[in-house]
Structures are given as C-alpha cells and as structure tokens.
Structure 1
Amino acid sequence: MPLFINRDQMFAHQVHLLEHKLRSKEERILELETENAILHLRLAECLGKLRREPEEDVRALTLPEHQRNAQKMTRSALFTLLSGVQAVKQELSELFAVYLSFATELEEKSKQLLEKVEQVSSVPNGHHGDGVQDLQAHVSALERSLEEERERCRAERQRRKNLHNTLVELRGNIRVHCRVRPVLHFDHVESSTSASGSAASEEVVTAFSDDTVMVNCLKTGLPVHNKMFEFERVHGPEDSQDAVFEEVKPLLTSLLDGYNVCIMAYGQTGSGKTHTMMGPELQVGNSKMQQETQQGIISKAAEELFRLISEKPAEIHTVEVSVMEVYNNEVFDLLARDELGSAVGQRRDIITTSSGTIQVTSLTHLPVGNASEVMQIISSVLKLRAHCPTLIHPDSSRSHLIVTLTISSKSPNALALARRLQRAKKDMQRSTQKEWWSPRCRRANPTAQLSSDELFASSSASPCLSPSLSPCPSPRPSISQAPFKTKLQLVDLAGSECVGMSGVSGAALWEVSCINRSLSALADVLGALAEQSPHIPYRNSKLTHLLQDAIGGDSKLLLMLCVSPTQKFITESLQCLGLGTRVRQVQKEQPRRKGNTLRVK
C-alpha cells in the first residue's frame, strides 16, 4: 500500500514552531529595551552627579576620612554601572541583528523542510520509515530548543520586573521629593502681618544638596540656626520641569507591571504645586518647544504611559481618564455632562465596596488613545475648577484636583495566540488537500481518514482541530486571558494658607477653612500611619476618604513637597517640610501587583 505524507501539515507545523521562536526573540528584545531605558535613566543620574564632582572635590578636602572613602566607593560603583549599561547596549544590538536575520532564516527553513518532504515522498517505500523518523527526531529537537528559549525568556522577564520593583521598594513605597521654587514678584509684596519688604523677601529655604533642604531660622537677638531636612530627592529653583519628571518616570513602569501609582503635590498657596503638576498657562505666542519643556507631571506622565504601551504592541491596553475635584469637602465629577452636553461639575458620593476598595458613584470615565486627548479633556474642564484671587496668588486654586488614568490590560500571550489561530484558519481554508494524515498521526488517531471537508467543518469554531479530531495534536497547553486594571492618580492639592496673609474675606473664609481642615485631616492620617495607630481617620475628610487606597493601600505613593524660599512664608514652609519628614516614616504594606498571570489549563 503506498505511503502518503501530508506535506502541507508538516510544513505548517514547522512554520508554527519557528513563528513561536521568533515571538520569543521579540519579547526578549522588548525586555532588554525596557531594561536599557531604566539603565539610561540611572546613567543620567550618575552623569549628573559626576558633573558636580569638581565642586564636591573642593568640599571633599575638608571632609572626614570615612566620607572620602564613601565617595570613592560611589565613584567606583558609578563606573561599574556605566560598564553594565554598555554591556546591555552590546547585547541589545546583537539581539537586533538576530531579529533581522530571523525572517530570512524562517523562509530558508521552510524551503528546506519542503524539499525534505519531497525527497522523502520520492524515496521507495522501504525507505519511508527512516525519513519520517529523521524528521520526527528533528522536530523533537526543535521543540526542546523552543521550550528552553521560552523558559529563558520567561525567566529574563521575571528577573527584569523583580529588579525594577526591588529598586522602587528600596527607595520606599512612599517616596517624598521636595521642590524649592524661585523668588517671585509677590514675595516682595508686604502684607499687614509681615515684616519689612527686604526682610520678608530674604531667601532662607535652599536646596543644600540633591537630597537635603536647609532652612535658616532667623530670630532677632539670637544666632542663626540652620535646620536640615532629608528627602529622596530635592530640586532647587534652577531645576527644570524635565529634571523633576525624570525622578518620577521610573514609577510609571510599575503601572504596566500591575501596580497602582499615586503622585501628589503638597504645599502652601503660591508654592508651585499647579506649575509642577500642570505646567504654566501656555500663551498663544509660545512656541511648541517652549510648551513641551514647560509641561507638568500630568502631561509628561500621560506621554510616558502611552510610550510604554507602544513598546508592547503584542498586548492590549485601554486607557480611561476621569477628573474630580474636592471643593468645600464635597466630591465633584468635572467630566459630567448636562442635558445640552456641556461639562458641569456634579456632586458624587464615595462608597466602600465589599472588597474594601473605594469607589465614586456614577463617575464619568472617558476612553483616550494618546496623551494629547488626555490633556484636551483636562484643559476643557479646568475652567470648572474653583479659583479665587488672593494677596498671595492672583489665581489661587480653591479645590483639590484628582486626575485618574485607569489602564486595562490583557494577556499578551493570549492575544498573540488568537492572532496565530486566525492566520492558521485562513491557511487551512485555502488548502485543497483531500487527505490530511501521516503514518504517525494515523496510529494516534483513527479518525484521520476523514475527508478535508469534514475536518474543516469540525474546525469552524477554531482553526485548530479539537484534540479528538486533530491528526497532530499541538503540544501547547490552552491559555486563558486574565485582564487586570491599574490606576495612575495625579493629585494637585489646594494650598494651605494664613487668612491674614492671603487677605480673603466673606464666603472665601469658608473655602479656606475647608481647605485647611482637609489638609489637616491628611496630615492626621499620615501621622497615624507613621505611628502605626490601630485606627486611621480616613473618614474625617472627603479628601482622605477618596485617596484611602493611595495613602494607606497597596499603591506606590510619591509626595511632591512644594515650598517657598523666602522668610515671609517660613512658617508654612517648616510645616510642609515637617509633614514630609513624618511621611517618610510611614511603613506601608507590601504593594500587591494586580493578577495578570496566565492560567494554563
């Protein structure tokens, strides 16, 4: 009896394996690119420190011996890091070369396998068994090689995530940065309670180093007393918006790894919170380059988020934006629409779900596809935010603004599998082969003698045959999708202020009272967390209740302290710096990643 071999099936099986190997290489390249980007950020930090070495060398002459040894060890560590970055670059270039050559290799392998099948089919019947056995051994070797590559890729991906999150954890789940703004025109304006203009505008708060703020406490008749406050990062007046965001950017990588992230700006009125989070008001005459360099954390974070999403084309990510404000201890949805379709702020309630998470009822979520859409939506509703001119600031914000970006992610492997199955289905439907079986598959499956029409009919729901009908069962286990959601919360808090200094009166006094009470409630919550109190007063304010998941939950929180440099505002500046010091003592629970693992059946 003549021996028949399904050449199309064997060819499709080999192509399928090679495609899987190509996908593994692509995932490896993406992982190395991400690791390279993180190392570039660390290298930029190190180079910035190296550029300041000449000044540090002058100070190092007066430092103790153990501090000079520590600086030497730091320099050696920086050079080691630089060599590591160069090694990663070299490895990445090699992987790119492999990736470019893989398409050609795939085509060549396909031709070779087709030629082997033709040779085997032309050999006399007595030699068919040896050729099939050789092909089976070759296929088994390829399967083992692909499985090894898959395991290595999975291990490298997990290693990259572990290293990144370990770096973030070492810096603390709650990180505190400080930004000292420059002296502005309203610092020279005298108020009824301040001293003379020259004394009030004297600069007493300075960025002493990259992680230290120095405050000169001036008291009449007493010597100058300097107070030092240490934080994870301190930015001086000369630091740009880009420099501030570079320290925030590593947190955003955790979003796609399954962690919630919250970035909050805290400080008194006029200290630069809105400038840091939103950027300045862009005038019509400003150039596009000027606008991009002046963008705040919210705009840059949206751009970085969509950039990270674009680097993972195999995954499905959907992003939704919501905008809320807390005004006079009430929560308002700024994206809510009236009957005419105009944006109006509507009051919402806060509820606690059965799982313990915080939700806002009937909150409006709008889907967005890029950073420009995010900023257009935010800009369109900023006019609804409560503002009021004061003696300190001509356009002071009177409410707390909360911008939330919700990212929904799906399993990349499940998506890639679905696409491959669709392609395989189309290839099968184009096939005109009447019999689809081989000696090995016939022994394993008695139904292999079915006609191709019957086989195609049985596979109408799926391009791959079911295990009971498949002549060559796929060794790959079935994979189910596991979508998960993470949140990026960007908070621009209203500023604390002294009524006598701001000069407000009438109805504005109630606004000031609500702002100061909500900020005091925030300080009480953070203080209770630092003291590990059994009761945390989240519900003392709508602000702390709304941000309960970010403050005391498992998200990664960054508190950006914004302080004024002059003697006029030293009381508020000391209060702000003291709060930041207390926040650094908070020991949060270990952040939990959302469930994005694949369930293998």
Structure 2
Amino acid sequence: MPAKALNWSFITNQRIQQLKSQVRAKEERIVELETENAVLHLKLAECHGIIERSNSKTMQFCSLYNEEQHLRRNTYSNLTQIYQIVQKFKQELKDFQSFSYLLMRNFQHHYQDYLSQIVDAIQKAQIENENLQLLQARAIDLEQSLQEINGRYQVEKQKRKALHNNLVELRGNIRVHCRIRPLLPFDTESGDLAFQNRLTSLSEKVVHSTDDETVLVKCSRPGHPLFNKTFQFERVYNPLESQKIVFGDVCPLLTSLLDGYNVCIMTYGQTGSGKSYTMLGPHSESDPISSSEADQEMGIIPRAAGELFRLLSENQTVNPRVEVSVVEIYNNELFDLLAKDSSGIFGVKRDVITTKEGKSNVPLLTYELVESPAEFMRLINKSLQLRVKHPTLVHADSSRSHLVVTITLTISVPFDSFADQQSSQNLCKEILCITPQKVMKGEKPSFFSRGPSPAPIPLDLTEQQKQVQTKLQLVDLAGSECVGMSGVTGTGLRETSFINRSLAALADVLGALSEHRGHIPYRNSKLTHLLQDSIGGDAKLLVMLCVSPCQKYLAETLQSLGFGSRARQVQRVQAKRRNLLVSSKSK
C-alpha cells in the first residue's frame, strides 16, 4: 500500500513535471505567437497605410481624370463656339470690306465736292475779308467822327448846364433832387394777417429812375387801368447810388457858401423814406455819427462839415469863424438843443420873431464856436440824443420833430474876389434874354455848374478886405405820415398832427410863392417862420426828396413828388452875396 502510494506519487510528480514542461513550452510558444502576431499586426497596419495611401492616390487620379474629362468637354464646347465666332467674324469681315469699299468710293466723291466748296468758300472769305477791311477803315473813321461829336456834345452839355445854372440863379428857383431808397425788410413786414396776403403785391417796386433827371411811377388802383407818371428834377438818384455820389452833387453849394451866399439843404419825404439816413447817415444812441472819412455811409451833414473845414484850410487868408446852432421843432414849438435851462437840462424853448428888415430871427439862440469836424459832430451827436423819437408801424426809430442845424461862417474876403462881377452879371442877363421862353418853362434842367457862381454888383472898393457872414442851414424834416398806416395813438397821434400841419404849411408857402400871392403865410408854422429867409429869401435852396420805391407807400410817394414839382415852380429873388460887415483895414 505504501509502495503503491509512493509510485503513484512519483508518477504524479513526473506527470506534473511533464505538464509543467508542456505548460512552459506552450507559454513560450504563446510568447512567440504573440510576438509574431505583433509583428503581423505591424505589417497589417503598414499594409493598411499603404492601402489608404493607394486609395487616396486612386481618388486623386479619379478626380484628375474627371476634371480632365470635364475640361476636355468644356474645351471642345469653347472651341466649337470659337469656331462659330470665327466663322461669323469672317463673314462680318467680308461684309465690312465690301462696305468699306463702298464707303471709300462715297468718301472720295464727297471729298471732291467738299474740296470744291472749300475753295469757293476761301475765295468768298478773301472777298469778305477785303470788304471787312474796308468796313473797319470806315468804322474807324466813324468812331473818330463819333468821338469828335461826343466831345463837342460834352462841351455843349457843360455849356447847357452852365447856362441852366445861371438861369436858375437869375430866376431864383428852388433846386430839387430826388433819392429813391432801396427796398428794406420792413417793407414786407406787417402784423395784420389780412395784410400778409397782399404783401407780395404791396412790396412790388413801382418807383424807378429812368435816367438821372426823371422819376417814373407805375400807378395802379383796384378797378382802374395801369398808367405811368413821370416827374422831372435837377437830379434823380437810383437805389444803388451811394452817399458819396449824393454829396458830390451837393458839394458845390459849400463853395457858394465860401463865395458869400446863404445856403439851405433840406430833406423831405414820408416817414421811413431815408431822410435822416441821407442827411446824417446811420446812427443810434449807442452808435453816434462818425466824422471819419473812412465811413462810406456818412450823410450830408458830417460830409459837409469835413468839406467845409477842408476848404477853409486851403485858404489861410480868410480867418474863418465857424459857429453852430441846433434847434428842434417839436409840436410846433422851437427848442434850442445847445442851451441849458435853470435846472441844467438841455433843450430850452425859444421863439421865432421877424426883424424890422423882414428877416426871421431866434432871440437868445445858442451858438457854439467849432474849429474842426470832430467838434462839430460832437455837438450834433449830443443834440441827436435829445431829439424826440418814437416807434411806429412804419418805422421803428421815427423822428417826431424837425431838426435844423445852422452853420454861421464869418470870413475875411479880399476885394480881388469881386473882380469881373459886372461882366458876369451882363453875361447872365444876355443868357436870360436869348434863351427861348420854352427853355425857361420846360427845359430839362441839370444841376450845379462847377464854374463860379453868379456875382452881385461890386461893392465899394476903397477898403482892401472886408468880413462876410453867411449861413448854411441843414434841415432834416420829420416825415409825413398816414395815421392809418403808422398806427399811432395818443401822444403819437398828436405829434403826427403837428408834423403834417407843419409840412402842409410848408406846401402852402411854396404854393403862395409859385402863384406870386401878395401874402405868404410864413407864420402859420414855426417851421416856415424859421426857414422864411431860406424858402422865400435870396439863399440857395436845395430840397432833397426821399421816396420809397414800393407799392405800399405809393400815395405818400406821389404826394412827395408832387411837393417837389411844385417847389421847382417857385420863382424867388436871385441869390445874393452877403453884405460886408466889418472892415479889416480899420483893425
């Protein structure tokens, strides 16, 4: 039992050893197979990569092949189209060749025709050029003749102006100028809604200057046909003419002032027509009038002051004395704007009287001595601060009074300046005698001659030098108003009443003078009483009419133009030089 057990154990051990050996052999084989399997996997992966690359290349080749096939098809199609186009082009080329041949034949035919026409045109042009040269020579001769005739015309025109000026001096007529202002913004402004619908027609320009002596007014009323009225004056200014041009025609009066004549310049017209602008220039309380020559908008008063002192500075032998007075006529009362009352307030009431000699005079009127344009304008600006002004619907800065600036000039005059006076008077008398009656009544007048003013009979020549006193009155009249249009009430209505009454009195005086009445109603108004010597006396008087151009103020414009026409008909005494005052030899 024990021996069998041992054999069995031995056999079992051997079997176990064999099995272990087999297991080790199998394991080694497994390792070898795994290694081989791993190698095969690597080779398989490598083969897969090769296959994938091959497939990719195959796909690329297929794609390239497809593209090549598509390209071939497109190329064939394009070649087919190109072939068709080439065939068509060949056909068109054949047609074009035949057309070009035909066109060339036509061109040659027309070329021959045009060439012959050009030759004919050149021949005609040569003939026309010869004719043109003849015409140019004739035109030169005509131009020379025209220049000669124009020169003669200008000489005759100047002679006519001189003759007319002398005639006006002899007849004592009032010179009348007319200035048409441009359209302004307030011409188209109105607070009345019903009126707004008519602004276009009412702001229409109806007053025109046809030349420098004629005003044309287009008159139209509802229900009446359109008609034109013309007015003749010594000078007419259109809206584009400047202050400098206006003063250029007024300037010769200052020479007359130095020659010994009294001079009066006044502006007349409706409110807002440009009177104060013409006389003073633009001004306000915050912006006083400038006396600088650089100011192109200066009015007549500052320009007259500058010109007067310039003329005086050119003659150092006259020993001038220049005095200024400024008065305001407000509600038919006269106020001295340079005088102070007991409380130190400027603007003292004065009165106008008539002297034994029949001259108007203002007792106790203040006269300020001035020695330069700056001093003169300082007084004017101070006086303008006191002038009464109120806004109306027509003008926002309407002057409610008449302003009268009087410059009294006293100079020493040598008797040499009176030489040839008698011969000058004889010439004027001859002119008056030979001038046809129609010239005295209807001849178109020009304005001032630049030559010497007509002189009076010479005075006593026993003295070598005398003193002469002359006056220059510069009058800025208040504007005439239509109460309905200006919209004034209360105090403004009372002011308007006095203004219109004083202007009516001025018109009455001119009417009485033109009709040669025995009584001239100077004393109906302080204005006419103060200006009595200028209106009806022997002063040189210029009335500057200022009118609006628009339809809105047509009635007032016609009234102003009618006033100017009546003023031109006034025949006064001839302007005279002032009497000599004090002998300078006795000094």
The two structures share one fold, judged by TM-score above 0.5: yes
Aligned partner of 1:262 in structure 2 is 264
Shift of 1:590: 1.0
Structure 1 segment 81-96 matched on structure 2, within 5 A: none
1:166 lines up with 2:166 in the alignment: yes
The CA deviation at 1:78 is: 1.9
* Partners of 1:258 and 1:596 within 8 A in 2: no
Distance across 2 between alignment mates of 1:522 and 1:338: 30
Contact 2:414–2:464 (CA under 8 A) maintained in structure 1 = no
Q: Which residue of 2 aligns with 1:585?
A: 569
- CA displacement 1:258-290 (0-9 Å, x = unmatched): 110000000000000000000002776999978
Aligned partner (choices 378, 387, 393) of residue 385 of structure 1:
387
- The 5 A counterparts of 1:197-208 are 197-208=199-210
Q: Is 1:544 the equivalent of 2:528?
A: yes
1:78-98 per-position Cα deviation (integer Å, ceiling 9, x unaligned): 26899x9xxxxxxxxxxxxxx
Aligned twin of 1:298: 301
Look up the match of 1:510: 494
In structure 2, the residue matched to 1:175 is 175
1:571 alignment partner, SS class:
helix
**Would the aligned equivalents of 2:171 and 2:572 in 1 still touch at CA under 8 Å?**
no
Q: CA 1:191/1:222 → structure 2, altered by over 3 Å: closer, same or farther?
A: farther
Long gaps (5+) in structure 1:
1-68, 85-161, 415-476
Tell whether 2:537 aligns with 1:553.
yes
| Aligned residue runs from structure 1 range 91-490, under 5 A | 166=166, 169=169, 173-190=173-190, 196-281=198-283, 292-339=295-342, 342=344, 344-412=346-414, 479=463, 481-490=465-474
Shift of 1:292: 2.1
1:370-398 CA distance string (max 9 Å, x none): 11111111101211101000111111000
Which TM-score applies when normalising by structure 1? Answer: 0.61
- The SS at the match of 1:213 is strand
Partner amino acid for 2:387?
R
Match of 2:503 in 1: 519
The 1:249/1:167 distance shift into structure 2, 3 A limit, reads: farther
Q: Percent identity?
A: 55
Number of aligned positions between the proteins: 392
Structure 1 residue 302: Cα displacement: 1.0
Distance 1:590 1:533, change over 3 A: same
Structure 2 SS opposite 1:293 = coil
Flag the 1:528–1:286 CA change in 2: closer, same or farther, 3 A: closer
Moved more, 516-525 or 220-229: 220-229
* CA distance in structure 1 between the partners assigned to 2:204 and 2:147 by the alignment: 34
Q: Which residue of 1 aligns with 2:453?
A: none
Distance 1:596 1:180, change over 3 A: same
Note the C-alpha offset of 1:310: 1.3
User: Which residue in the other structure is 2:153 paired with?
Assistant: 77
Amino acid at match of 1:385: R
C-alpha distance 480-186 of structure 1, shift in aligned 2 (>3 A):
same
For the Cα contact (< 8 Å) 1:259–1:486, is it kept in 2?
yes
| Cα distance in 2 between the residues matched to 1:232 and 1:196 | 35
Structure 1 residue 411: deviation in Å? 3.6
SS in 2 for 1:410: strand
SS of equivalent residue, structure 1 residue 394:
coil
The letter of the residue matching 1:246 is G
Partners of 2:291 and 2:373 within 8 A in 1:
no
Q: Within 1, Cα distance between the matches of 2:323 and 2:552?
A: 42
* Cα distance in 2 between the residues matched to 1:286 and 1:262: 21
Find the residue that maps to 2:324 and give its secondary structure: strand
Question: In structure 1, what is the Cα distance between the partners aligned to 2:167 and 2:408?
Answer: 24
1:581: how far off? 0.5
> Quick check: 2:172–2:538 contact (8 Å CA) kept in 1?
no
Structure 2 residue matching 1:383: 3-state secondary structure:
helix
Residues in 2 aligned to 1:483 and 1:286: alpha-carbon distance in whole angstroms: 32
Secondary structure of 2:257's counterpart equals helix
Change (3 A) 1:218 1:75: farther
SS at match of 1:380: helix
- Offset at residue 363 of structure 1 (A): 0.3
Tell me how far apart the structure 2 counterparts of residues 164 and 486 of structure 1 sit (CA, whole Å): 24
Query: Does the CA-based 8 Å contact 2:481-2:500 persist in structure 1?
Result: yes
Q: Shift of residue 404 of structure 1?
A: 0.3
For 2:401 and 2:360, locate their aligned partners in 1 and report how far apart those are by CA, in whole Å: 20
Give deviations 1:408-437, integer Å, cap 9, x for gaps.
1124479xxxxxxxxxxxxxxxxxxxxxxx
> What residue number does 1:568 align with?
552
Q: Using the TM superposition, give the Cα deviation of residue 345 of structure 1 relative to its aligned residue in structure 2, in angstroms.
A: 0.6
Counterpart-to-counterpart distance in 1, 2:488 and 2:368: 36
Q: Which has the larger radius of gyration?
A: 2
The 8 Å contact of residues 387 and 398 in structure 1, kept in 2 or not, is answered as: yes
